[in-house]
Structure 1
Amino acid sequence: MRKDKERQGRTQISQGLNFVKEFLDRLPKMPSHYCRKDTHKLYLEPMFQSYADIYREYSSVCEAESKTKMSRTVFVGELKASNISIFVPRKDQCDLCCEFSQGNADETEYNQHRERKEYAQTEKAKDKEAYGHDGRTKVLCVDVRRVLLASCLKASALYYKTKLQVHNYTVFDMTSKDVVCFVWNEVHVEGGLNASEFASCLVSYLEGSVDSFDKAIIYSDGCTYQNRNRVLATALRFFCVRYGKTVEQKILERGHTQMEDDSVHATIVRRLKNMDIFAPLDYVNLIKVSRMSPRPYDVRYLTFDFFRDFEKIEEGAIKSIKPSKEANVTNICAFT
């Protein structure tokens, strides 16, 4: 009798663990936007804000489906073992600085890192000051915000439904404070995000204001598939040759990429709080009214025919941006 009870108990635990895995498999996930090159973690959509939130949902599903419910400790342990997180990593969280603060990083490497960080931020401040009233030089910062989801509703039953990923590429003019947001959803691109999509947005912005400047200085983070790649370099070269302009691209130090356009994202997030999104166009309307002063954001909703494939350019194409033949050399901080 005792052995039967022990066997039954082991069976229940096994079934309970299997259902935890099944429950986690049901949840829609997405890769980290900022750190996809550095981590294989998957992140739950932003409906859940804490372990308590997701465990509460798990408990209600167990009750509804008459499943054995495991303890919160076991549940969270399985969540971590599955490499799933509810916390989206911040792009400005510096791994090296965190390691140094804990005594796990080389001091020489850390000091060089700090020097690069301070140099990059000082360079940006100098450009803003030097060209702020120049009239013929644009100082811009560009970034693509974290992935938005459509629909995005507060009803928990809709969490399990497939959603469209919506992207917002932002161009911020540091002098005029004008902002252009290029918004599109995954339906209008093939094979996922790639460098040509971001290059298309930036070149379109430059072409739209080509008569108002002779030189553009563009600041960005060092995300490889967005900003530090030969496709974008080729696209900017294509623009410069075609229109007789000068473009400088400057890349901030990893982990310290705070830029003026961060305020755009923060404003949109505040506006989005407690609002329901039913379709991608709802984001367009929301972003338009997120700022009133000095001017509303200029929002451009893109479809598939907007994007250009700069990878197919052959004449004048840049074959490589690496300053060295050594593997893994990507510490490029500027292009002209």
Structure 2
Amino acid sequence: MLYRLYKEDFCITRYINPVSHFVYQKTFHQYEPALDFFTPKKDQCFKCNAYNTAKDKEPLKEEYDSHKKREKDAMQMKQNDRNRAVAEKGRSFRAATFDLQAILSVPFAGDNQIFYKLKLHVYNLTIFDGSNVEGHCYVWDETHGKKGSAEIGTCLLKYFHGLPETVTRLYI
């Protein structure tokens, strides 16, 4: 895919002849270590980063181990809630997760000239209902609100009001 983008976008916009696929591949693998793309983890935790980058980990170890245990327990509880919601087919029990996406800037363009122009910030809160594997996106721009607790609460209330009356318990 990267070679295709190089060939069909980069070379065409710059009016240059692309190198062969072989030469392109060789470029990435000729260095020691080979060139690679780093994909950062999403939502990196402050405590995990502090522990992982510390030269002396011993003073942080007990708190880090406790933190990782709480993380594991929370993930297990989340999975248990989802399994229960799936087993009940979401009739009276629902399990949902939600997250606010990183701020989207409109307009979006790859060239740097537009990067410094005035942009409109757009927010997207997604709620994922694990019982019926359904996502709900609530999108607004900065002219209708920011990304504060009032806006998040409003989205959650809209989701709650859309649930069937048979739902008596909701875990988020």
- Range of TM-score over shorter length: 0.5 to 0.7
**Paired position in structure 2 for 1:187:** 143
**Paired position in structure 2 for 1:239:** none
Deviation digits for residues 189-228 of structure 1 (CA, Å, limit 9, x no counterpart): 2xx332110000001111012424111110xxxxxxxxxx
The aligned amino acid for 2:165 is D
Compared CA separation, residues 160 and 92, structure 1 to 2 (3 A): closer
Offset of residue 95 of structure 1: 2.9
Q: Distance in 1 between matches of 2:143 and 2:41?
A: 26
SS at match of 2:87: coil
**Paired position in structure 2 for 1:98:** 49
SS at match of 1:204: helix
The aligned amino acid for 2:112 is S
Offset of residue 90 of structure 1: 5.5
Please say if 1:122 is aligned against 2:90. Answer: no
SS at match of 1:187: coil
**Paired position in structure 2 for 1:216:** 170
**Paired position in structure 1 for 2:127:** 171
Q: Distance in 1 between matches of 2:170 and 2:137?
A: 18
**Paired position in structure 1 for 2:87:** 133
* Correspondent of 1:203 among 154, 157, 162: 157
Report how many aligned residue pairs link the two structures: 128
Compared CA separation, residues 98 and 153, structure 1 to 2 (3 A): closer
Please say if 1:157 is aligned against 2:108. Answer: no
Q: CA RMSD in A?
A: 1.8
Q: Distance in 1 between matches of 2:113 and 2:49?
A: 38
Equivalent runs, 1:75-90 vs 2, <5 Å = none
User: Equivalent pairs: percent with the same residue?
Assistant: 27
SS at match of 1:211: coil
Q: Distance in 2 between matches of 1:90 and 1:114?
A: 16
Q: Distance in 1 between matches of 2:111 and 2:68?
A: 45
The aligned amino acid for 2:123 is H
SS at match of 1:165: strand
Identify unmatched segments of 5+ residues in structure 2. Answer: 1-39
Q: Distance in 2 between matches of 1:94 and 1:188?
A: 30
Q: Distance in 1 between matches of 2:113 and 2:72?
A: 48
Offset of residue 92 of structure 1: 2.6
Q: Distance in 2 between matches of 1:169 and 1:139?
A: 17
Contact 2:124 2:139 in 1 (8 A): yes
Equivalent runs, 1:35-74 vs 2, <5 Å = none
Offset of residue 156 of structure 1: 2.6
Contact 2:123 2:147 in 1 (8 A): no
